[in-house]
Amino acid sequence: MPVSVPPGILYLFQNLPSLIIPPAIVAGLGQIIRNHTNLYISTWILVFACVLSLPATFAMKVLYKDWKDENDAAAHNAFLPPRVPDSLPAGLGLLRSALDSFKNGYPGEQFEGFYAQLGSHFMNFRILYEDRFFTTEPDHIKAILATQFESFEKGPVFQHQMKGLLGAGVFNSDGEMWKFHRAMTRPFFSKDRISHFDIFDRHATDALNQLKQRLREGYPVDIQDLASRFTMDSATEFLFSKDVQSLAAGIPYPHYSHLASASEAVNHPANRFARAFDDAQRCLSLRTRRGIHWPLSEFWQDRVKQNMVVINEFIDPILAAAVQRKREAAAEQEDVEMKGKSEGEVLENESLLDHLINYTDDENVLRDETLNILLAGRDTTTNSITYALYMLSKHPDVLQKLRQEVLEKVGESRRPTFEDMKDMKYLRAVINETLRLYPAVPFNIRSSNQPVVLPGKNGSPPRYIPARTKVGYSVFLMHRRHDLWGPDADKFDPDRFLDDRVKTYITPNPFIFLPFNAGPRICLGQQFAYHETSFFLIRLLQQFTNLKHVPEAQPTSSLPPPEWKLASGTKGTDDFRIKSYLTMSAMGGCWLSMEEADTN
């Protein structure tokens, strides 16, 4: 087993030259002066000069970079984005603010004040002398994701931060490795494959039966947990040919029940995986906020690695099952058919993992891709289902209208088809409005691999991005901008995707709505997610009505502070806090009650 070097030690070793060279140069010059001139330099002065050389060299580097970036921007007839001011040196105040907001605040709220202060939706959020550009401008995001795609990448800094969980999977790779993962994945999200709903139906039936049973016991249900199990089992069966049976663990009871901490449920493999996966994402999110110096906060122990023990225990049986299927196929000489197929061709009953394992037996590649797909297949659709049902519980008029469409188009018991979903305009509008206000991936980041000039806004000069600069963007904040969506941008109103507001706002500028990203890295599972979310909502609304949120079932730590009720927008109306890691989720779950529909 290879020796694991603590992150902090590795960080110091990698930065050793910059720590040694300046004092060495000063010491060397001191000795030359002593030996070849009559000038005497005392030892303590030489020591002081050696120590002083470190901050002096660093300051010169920072000043030189600032000067160079300003001149390069001017050479392109552009300007750098305005820098967010900080009362403390080195951006320490901004770092403290970012970490506090992550723990106690509402997603992105600190940027709202910066917009008003700077008069710009594009800014430099510099922390510890590391430039971090940030934008919510549709034209800038369009350039990053599409029109100037080749100028941006995930980049080595982001990949280093995420490697502990995502490895070199599709969400953490660039270049040929990204193209490889993309090519492997694309065939499994074709219309034919994602339009067969047997898997969805089987797991939705199990989930809704458990929902009925818990409600009949007199308890509300954490719909986020239920949706997570439904999407986990559906995704693993669809993509890996192995249902991990997370629904078999049962759904949790609210915190006030004596059954809430039943040890058997807590220690179920699927539940242990979910907790470890969630904590690993939390650690990664903290790394992105701490920037390139994150190893100093995990000096002696990689906190993601602790969770990977549990995660790998869950993933390894999925990989082992795929390897076993390949061996069985070879033993039965079915691999003759495999060898005869054209490169990239996918067999009818072949899963994504089965397909991938024919091209590589590298366990790291297989494990990385499995985890990346699980992140996409489980967390993102769970978010959509959870917040859609939460919004329906808060908007009974929308619930009534949507349920009426379900009953008119599908009926009380029939399984929905692809054609049904295609015809259900209001359902799609409800899902889109949910994704607008609560996108599954609220914040994202790229890194420039060359100098970039972004278009100016409303006649303002273009903006310049130096090479190797982080550029973050937020669809969560962009989707809520009043100047892009109208004065009611903070309100949940599915009709905005059906009435004249489509022509007013979305049609002229389609990049204001990007729940699945855009460009070459657009989410391949977009239609799969729409279908899975639609299927679950239809099945639930066929059987249930009168959805209500139950605040007393929320864990105390998940409740917003009372002063938030005075805030504008959804911060003032949300009944639980949002957890924004790599993906968005409801802190403490989303506890709902509902009534079984009268089908007589």
The string of DSSP codes covering 58-69 is HHHHHHHHHHHH
Q: What is the pLDDT of residue 345?
A: 66
160-200 pLDDT per residue, tens = 999 999 999 899 999 999 998 888 888 888 877 777 789 99
DSSP summary character for residue 300: S
Nearest to 492 by CA among 420, 560, 573: 573
365 confidence band (pLDDT: 50, 70, 90): confident
300-338 pLDDT per residue, tens = 999 999 899 999 999 888 888 888 877 777 767 555 454
Q: What does the pLDDT average to over 444-464?
A: 92
Strand partners, 591: 222
Q: What angle do CA 512, 517, 522 make, to 5 degrees?
A: 135
Q: What angle do CA 45, 48, 51 make, to 5 degrees?
A: 150
Burial of 273 (0-12, 13-18, 19+ CB in 10 A): buried
CB 164 within 8 A of CB 198: no
Nearest to 231 by CA among 374, 351, 371: 374
CB 385 within 8 A of CB 537: yes
Q: What is the dihedral sign for C-alpha 539, 544, 548, 549?
A: negative
* Window from 108-122, 188-202, 517-531 with minimum mean pLDDT: 188-202
Q: Rounding to the nearest 10 degrees, give the CA dihedral for residues 165, 171, 175, 177.
A: 60
What's the whole-model pTM score? 0.93
Residue numbers in the known binding site are 523
Residue 280 CB neighbours (<10 A):
24
| pLDDT greater than 70 at residue 3 | no
Token digits for 85?
């001011």
222 confidence band (pLDDT: 50, 70, 90): very high
Write down the residue that tokens 């590649």 correspond to.
Answer: 365
Residue numbers in the known binding site for heme are 523
Query: Hey, what amino acid is at 373?
Result: I
Burial of 349 (0-12, 13-18, 19+ CB in 10 A): exposed
Non-local (6+) Cβ contacts of 188 within 8 A are: 239, 346, 351, 352, 355
As a whole number of angstroms, the distance between CA 432 and CA 439 comes to 9
CB 158 within 8 A of CB 171: no
237-268 pLDDT per residue, tens = 888 888 889 999 999 999 999 887 765 577 88
CB 492 within 8 A of CB 391: yes
